[in-house]
Structure 1
Amino acid sequence: MRIVVVGDALLDVDVDGSAERLSPDAPVPVVDLRSRSVRAGGAGLVATMLRRDGIDVSLVSSIAADDHGAELVGALDGVRVVTAGSGDPTPVKTRVRASGHAIARLDEACGPPGELVVDGAMLAEFEGADAIVVADYGRGMAAHPAIRAVVARRAGTIPVVWDPHPRGAVPVAGVTIVTPNRGEAAAFAGRSVDGVPDAAAAGERLLEDWRVERVAVTLGEGGAVLSAPGRLPLVATARAVDSADPCGAGDRLAATLALELAAGASAEDALRAAVARASAFLATGGVAGLELPDNAAAIGGEAAEALAVARATRERGGTVVATGGCFDLLHAGHARTLAAARSLGDCLIVCLNSDSSVRRLKGRERPLIRQEDRVDLLLALECVDAVLVFDEDTPEEAIARIEPDLWVKGGDYVAADLPETRVLAERGGRVVTVPYIPARSTSALAEALARVG
């Protein structure tokens, strides 16, 4: 699979330090800097996310041959960057944080851009792509006539996801799905967007104005509302997330939409997956989670999110709690055990046996519910912060990666009999039990269902 991202790339810089005194010159904090990190922003962030998803990705953008441009290209390691250069300096957005809290943002070269240069190599990059993401950040790439012409032509044959910008261009006709957020939808549709009914009305208006196949208005923690001609609006609900930094959530949603559509998913299923992935992205620290190594996902599909949840919790000084099991036919005993486990700390990560692992442990007839659905059911519980799928018969390797402070089992287990006990002890953690809920079991439920027929 190859995806082309086209749009405006920026350089995002984070400077972190501590602020323990005020300046004698003015009532402002003095920040003692400890670190400076850079990453690709704008369309570059979308490309970075897709590259970390294991996708062959190209970025078509205007990037200057200056020092900041070199930093930007360096941050795009693994992404094929196709550019004709730029006569403008590279836009830079620097966020200053003290003790983990943002206190200022400094913008450089973020004013109106000059005329963009688009050459044949940039246009040729779209040929053979399986999907396109247009990441418009209002700096002209999405408005360039040659770019618009090639995107319009390819929109008839492959999925095209268009992420608009208030100062950007309107989408070209025929694209697969456009993803304005609440404010963008309100501005483009000329009406307020306060909830699902307003989002649906705005989406229907934009379908007519833009002549695109679908519009998905994103509502933050309210999820997204998908409008399509002749169809009732679809609401894709979002998981409640406590995040102080929503930066990058829209990029994560657009990237996932393109990936899912290119893989053959329906627009409805792609949007559900994209909303879930954006929620997980925020739950694991947002753009800060991108600092995890690429091989963090080696344990299972949700592993990167689980590891980032554990890391963010530890950085806040919190207690990481984990538990494990098959969770086939989720029942009241499971729910009570998970809720009790979550009450012992500041996050709960569930290590879930994969389908192949369950078959080895329980027999060929199990699991009754496939792992993707078991993951969804667990994440639907408010007490579960992340799920990590593992293929081994026991979760020692998963535990070694998460390094929880507490590993929780039901009261019917004896800690000394558990293989997890040794792994936890080596890392300073402890195995604890919570009260066992009798007469609740997956096997009993399965037998009852078999009798019913």
Structure 2
Amino acid sequence: MSAPAPLLVIGDALIDHDLSGRAERLAPDAPVPVVTSIHRTTRPGGAALAACLAAADGRQVTLVTALGDDEASEALCKLLAGRVHLVRLPLTGALSSKTRVFAEGTPMLRLDHGEGRARERTAEACRAIADAGAVLVADYGRGTADVLRDALAAAAGRVPVVWDPHPRGDAPVPGARLVTPSAAEARAFADRQTGAGEASAGGVLHSAARDAGTLVHVWRAASVAVTLGGRGALLSHGETPLLVPSPATADGDACGAGDRFAATAAGHLADGDLTETAVQAAVHAATRYVAEGGVRTLAVDAATTTSPRPRADDEPMDDALRTAARVRAVGGTVVAAGGCFDLLHAGHVALLQAARRTGDCLVVCVNSDASVRRRKGSGRPLVPVADRVRVLLALECVDAVAVFDEDTPERLLGELRPHIWAKGGDYAVARLPEASLVESWGGQVVLFPYLDGRSTTGIAERAALSP
């Protein structure tokens, strides 16, 4: 499989802070909660978040953004080191920062500071646009897209340009391949064209469809995808829209989900995929992003530094361990399931879907080809391990896959240390040699009902007998 295509991200970077603590009393001088035992984390925000998310997909990412000599700009540069290649524009004023205050996970307050704006273009930034094979514009209304507008308009005529707009920003350049407003943003932009306060009969989908159609024509965009939160996204080319539903309901912090959506869509367009394929992948990625903890997975403890995030072209085992560690770090539940998964069938899918619903990520442990041969005989596997892994990863319920060579997955489980080890109901706990290992770190073996009449052996035998 070829490496993901490079991506140029252009837009307004921010730096975000979260203050998390406990609120057990009100202040004596005002009826406001007192937040104590505060833990502070810092992460990239705005276009910088979109760039980091694209880089986490294994892409080479260049970020063009405005930065100054202020403390916030320097802190953001340290966070971005090793993740993306940075092209700096001059900034007037201080870099914008956002601080959220939480008490036991509940948002209490947000503080915004800094109103810095991009001052002017640079020759280096214009060269980066001219050389780009695909561009994502994360416009947060602080001037970066404005000073580069002519260069971006020229780029839209030759390469995919995805534009993630903001109500404080200007319209996308004509010819953008895909524009990705939220439903509220689409409504606000459409109101500017049709008159504010227009009635919205027919509900959210009707309103989103109408707004998207309006904006395709007004913006002269190839398509507009209105993001609908947990409902998914509605894609319009100007006529009958396509609804791409969310594959699951993900409860969690949705901050940055729009950046995850836009970064995924832009990446797929950079790889040459159709817009419909890119939007579907973006909906799935945004859903998974929220389910896995959202921006908390990119947060850095204020008292520490961070090393560059590993690339997605690492071995599958590394990806599985990284997924489990990320979910565990934010208090989530890691679920693992194992098997040969040779000729993936409905019974397998039912087990994996049920397993994923019990936690916050699902890692599938797959027997290698040699392991399958030892267990099933010289005629197996019917499907080589590389193809089995690829098919499993195509399932929305599967977050990562790891391959093991032994007859049983104890060594792999010892590294993953899942909270739940899921097996089909045709197994008895006494027959699982890994049960005591899982229980040794407080994990739980869970059996799920088996879907009768489905087996790889049966399918293979019927296929062999068919004329």
* Range of TM-score over shorter length: 0.7 to 0.9
CA-to-aligned-CA distance 1:336-392 (integer Å, 9 cap, x gap): 65577578x555624153896898677363269854444444x3xxxx5x4321233
In structure 1, the partner of 2:150 is 149
* Closer/same/farther in 2, CA of residues 435 and 68 from structure 1, 3 Å limit: closer
CA-to-aligned-CA distance 1:244-273 (integer Å, 9 cap, x gap): 321111101111111111111111111111
In structure 1, the partner of 2:303 is none
Distance 1:167 1:355 in 2: 53
In structure 1, the partner of 2:173 is 172
Contact map agreement 1:15 1:95 (CA 8 A) in 2: yes
Identity %: 42
Distance 2:187 2:85 in 1: 35
Task: Trace 1:159-238 onto structure 2 (pairs within 5 A).
Answer: 159-190=160-191, 192=200, 194-228=203-237, 232-238=240-246
Which of 9, 22, 33 is matched with 1:18 structurally?
22
1:96 aligns with 2:101: yes
* Structure 1 position 310, deviation (Å): 4.4
In structure 1, the partner of 2:362 is 349
Distance 1:416 1:49 in 2: 43
In structure 2, the partner of 1:139 is 142
* Closer/same/farther in 2, CA of residues 428 and 306 from structure 1, 3 Å limit: closer
* Closer/same/farther in 2, CA of residues 209 and 37 from structure 1, 3 Å limit: same
Contact map agreement 1:94 1:106 (CA 8 A) in 2: yes
Distance 1:12 1:322 in 2: 33
Unaligned runs of 5+ in 1: none
Q: Secondary structure at the match of 1:25?
A: coil
Contact map agreement 2:43 2:298 (CA 8 A) in 1: no
Which of 326, 336, 339 is matched with 1:325 structurally?
339
Contact map agreement 1:404 1:429 (CA 8 A) in 2: yes
TM-score scaled by structure 2?
Answer: 0.82
Distance 1:396 1:259 in 2: 37
TM-score scaled by structure 1?
Answer: 0.85
In structure 2, the partner of 1:83 is 88
Q: Which amino acid aligns with 2:61?
A: V
Q: Secondary structure at the match of 2:9?
A: strand
1:285 aligns with 2:289: no
Q: Which amino acid aligns with 2:290?
A: L
Contact map agreement 2:335 2:356 (CA 8 A) in 1: yes
Q: Secondary structure at the match of 2:94?
A: coil
Which of 55, 80, 86 is matched with 2:59 structurally?
55
Distance 1:227 1:141 in 2: 27
Contact map agreement 2:216 2:224 (CA 8 A) in 1: yes
Distance 1:181 1:356 in 2: 45
In structure 1, the partner of 2:194 is none
* Closer/same/farther in 2, CA of residues 374 and 179 from structure 1, 3 Å limit: same
Unaligned runs of 5+ in 2: 192-197, 301-306
Count of residues paired in the alignment: 437
Contact map agreement 2:438 2:444 (CA 8 A) in 1: yes
Q: Which amino acid aligns with 1:253?
A: F
Q: Secondary structure at the match of 1:85?
A: strand
CA-to-aligned-CA distance 1:183-204 (integer Å, 9 cap, x gap): 1111122254943343233222
Greater displacement, 26-35 / 166-175: 26-35
Distance 2:356 2:278 in 1: 30
Distance 1:234 1:18 in 2: 44
Distance 1:51 1:346 in 2: 26
In structure 2, the partner of 1:392 is 404
Q: Which amino acid aligns with 1:123?
A: C
Q: Which amino acid aligns with 1:214?
A: S
Distance 1:335 1:119 in 2: 52
CA-to-aligned-CA distance 1:412-442 (integer Å, 9 cap, x gap): 4455664634652553434454555554313
* Closer/same/farther in 2, CA of residues 375 and 63 from structure 1, 3 Å limit: same
1:363 aligns with 2:380: yes
Q: Secondary structure at the match of 1:21?
A: strand
* Structure 1 position 11, deviation (Å): 1.0
Distance 1:355 1:321 in 2: 20
Greater displacement, 278-287 / 263-272: 263-272
Distance 1:417 1:13 in 2: 49
Distance 2:248 2:354 in 1: 19
Contact map agreement 2:368 2:404 (CA 8 A) in 1: no
Distance 1:218 1:125 in 2: 29
Q: Secondary structure at the match of 1:126?
A: helix
Contact map agreement 1:9 1:62 (CA 8 A) in 2: yes
Q: Secondary structure at the match of 1:83?
A: strand
1:37 aligns with 2:41: yes
* Structure 1 position 107, deviation (Å): 0.9
* Closer/same/farther in 2, CA of residues 438 and 83 from structure 1, 3 Å limit: closer
CA-to-aligned-CA distance 1:95-128 (integer Å, 9 cap, x gap): 1112222211111124xx5572222222222232
* Structure 1 position 327, deviation (Å): 4.1
Q: Secondary structure at the match of 2:316?
A: coil
1:410 aligns with 2:415: no
Q: Which amino acid aligns with 1:94?
A: T
Distance 2:218 2:129 in 1: 26
Distance 2:360 2:74 in 1: 39
CA-to-aligned-CA distance 1:138-191 (integer Å, 9 cap, x gap): 1122222xx111111122222111001111110111111111110111112225
In structure 2, the partner of 1:125 is 128
Q: Which amino acid aligns with 1:282?
A: V
Which of 438, 443, 446 is matched with 1:424 structurally?
438
Contact map agreement 2:164 2:179 (CA 8 A) in 1: yes
In structure 1, the partner of 2:316 is 300
Distance 2:359 2:89 in 1: 49
Contact map agreement 2:41 2:299 (CA 8 A) in 1: no
Contact map agreement 1:296 1:307 (CA 8 A) in 2: no
Distance 2:361 2:77 in 1: 37
* Closer/same/farther in 2, CA of residues 195 and 448 from structure 1, 3 Å limit: farther
Distance 1:53 1:340 in 2: 27
Q: Which amino acid aligns with 1:21?
A: R
Contact map agreement 1:283 1:309 (CA 8 A) in 2: no
